[in-house]
Amino acid sequence: MIKIGIIGVGTVGESVANILENNSDIIEARAGKKIVVKHGVVNNINKKRNVNISISNSADDILDDSEIDIVVELMGGVEEPYKIVKKALSNGKSVVTANKALLAYHRYELQELAGHIPFSYEASTAGGIPIIGALRNGLSANHIESIMGIMNGTTNYMLTKMINEGALYDDILKESQELGYAEADPTFDVGGFDASHKLLILASIAYGIDAKPEDILIEGIENISDIDVDFAKEFGYEIKLLGIAKKIGNGVELRVHPTMIPQSSMIAKVDGVMNAVSVVGDCVGETMYYGAGAGGDATASAVISDIIDIVRGNNAPMLGYNKPLESGLELLSSDEIISKYYLRLEVSDESGVLASISSALGELNISIETMLQKTSSTPNRANLLLSTHLSKEKDINNAISKLSKLSSVYGDIAMIRIEA
């Protein structure tokens, strides 16, 4: 029999305890041993919980219990769980965590501390989808060329409603909050930060790139307008908030931003709160993994698969490698990103404006692929929508800054990257 302790018994922790009990037949058959929750630790011991386990409010009740083999960390946050997990490892206990923020900041220190002690985190990224397993094991023969994923269900739900039903950003944000899909302060989701944590975890397994959220390009969906949505539909794109990791020569691009992608691509077909991650490997080509990215039971499914894996005797290294993966891979500066771009400008509706803008772009190394003029709600103005051929992020930013200063251009210029 294997005894585990759960630190943080919220929605996911309750699901873990309940599934271990309800599915004990199949879990014991697969793990080869019975797995029981010996103890749970919470902040507030007075709150009623839907679980049948002993509870206290001191993590040491688990960390110092020599009968407990596996510590399941589900408390959230960064520095507090970091301390707890370090102590668990130094006490020789295996660790399972669903904590993406902890890993976004401390995964390399933890890999070193863990050494040969199993440390697993399938639930940290894309909920119940076994994407960590796919990258750590299933695709281990491959140099990874790219990872592109819908890693946040809230924003995918909102974008789906905006694209399919013409909902406006503010309305759908309010609806998502009422449905419980979005927090009262939605910044962590809609600003792309949640997705960035997950992207960093996947990029570590794929490339061994050590970066923190503040090192990479992160943009949210807050500024997407109904005009952008109309343009996307007209030109055969969906708009998705993607986490993207891409190997370019000896560099790796890491970025999170709204992206226009062709409707024909598999990832464009993923609607609502679902998550999906597309991984391209040099041998396997494109593979994609789809499922629920959140929810107590789906996340617990991943947590328990890690526990079973450890009970079976898994001893793959935490990030999937013992020595550097590919020598010389470096995080590319966001200036170096190469992409197609969509731009939206509000301009004076007078002759010569289009010509002056396209010639200005030409001088700045930006070549236009499509251009479209739409009426504006303001009299004597027009919305100019255009997409570019492959360009450098640095050149686009320069162009946006220059164009903004033209007297014929009003307000901010909106930009969305396009993946072809």
Q: For residues 337 and 46, what is the distance between their CA atoms, to the nearest angstrom? A: 51
- Site size toward a copy of itself (CB under 8 A) is 64
Q: Judging by beta carbons within 10 Å of its beta carbon (0-12, 13-18, 19+), is residue 399 exposed, middle or buried?
A: buried
**Least distance from C-beta 237 to a copy of itself, angstroms?**
16
Q: According to the binding rule CB under 8 A, does residue 317 interact with a copy of itself? A: yes
Q: According to the binding rule CB under 8 A, does residue 300 interact with a copy of itself? A: yes
Q: According to the binding rule CB under 8 A, does residue 270 interact with a copy of itself? A: yes
Point out which span in 103-111, 130-138, 360-368, 403-411 binds a copy of itself (CB under 8 A): 130-138
Residue 198 falls in the annotated catalytic set? yes
CB closer to a copy of itself, 264 vs 367 = 264
Q: For residues 193 and 314, what is the distance between their CA atoms, to the nearest angstrom? A: 31
Q: According to the binding rule CB under 8 A, does residue 294 interact with a copy of itself? A: no
* Choice from 53, 291, 353, 403 touching a copy of itself (CB under 8 A): 291
The pairing of strands 237-248 and 35-41 is unpaired
Max Cα distance, the chain (Å): 80
The site string for a copy of itself over 134-153 (x = CB under 8 A, - otherwise) reads x--xxxxxxx----------
Q: Judging by beta carbons within 10 Å of its beta carbon (0-12, 13-18, 19+), is residue 379 exposed, middle or buried?
A: exposed
Q: According to the binding rule CB under 8 A, does residue 45 interact with a copy of itself? A: no
**Least distance from C-beta 156 to a copy of itself, angstroms?**
14
Q: According to the binding rule CB under 8 A, does residue 289 interact with a copy of itself? A: yes
Instruction: Return all residues near 235 (Cβ < 8 A) that are at least 6 apart.
Output: 260, 370, 387
* Choice from 8, 9, 15, 99 touching a copy of itself (CB under 8 A): 15
Point out which span in 129-137, 161-169, 347-355, 410-418 binds a copy of itself (CB under 8 A): 129-137
Q: For residues 171 and 24, what is the distance between their CA atoms, to the nearest angstrom? A: 44
Q: According to the binding rule CB under 8 A, does residue 13 interact with a copy of itself? A: no
Point out which span in 43-51, 65-73, 313-321, 332-340 binds a copy of itself (CB under 8 A): 313-321
CA angle 330, 193, 162 (to 5 degrees): 120
DSSP 270: -
Residues in 107-126 that interact with a copy of itself by CB under 8 A: 122
Instruction: Return all residues near 80 (Cβ < 8 A) that are at least 6 apart.
Output: none
Encoded amino acid at 332, one letter = L
Q: Which of 198, 240, 246, 247 is catalytic?
A: 198
CB closer to a copy of itself, 82 vs 181 = 181
* Choice from 283, 377, 380, 407 touching a copy of itself (CB under 8 A): 283
> Which of these, 364, 359, 355, lies nearest to 395 by C-alpha position?
364
* Choice from 51, 113, 227, 325 touching a copy of itself (CB under 8 A): 325
158-163 contacts, C-beta under 8 A, 24 or more apart: 158/182, 158/190, 158/221, 159/221, 159/224, 159/238, 159/239, 159/240, 159/241, 159/258, 160/271, 160/272, 162/224, 162/226, 162/229, 162/239, 163/229, 163/232, 163/233, 163/238, 163/239
Which residues are near a copy of itself by CB under 8 A? Answer: 15, 19, 23, 25-32, 122, 128-130, 133-134, 137-143, 266, 269-270, 281-292, 295, 297-298, 300-305, 308-309, 312-317, 320-327
Q: Which positions are catalytic?
A: 198
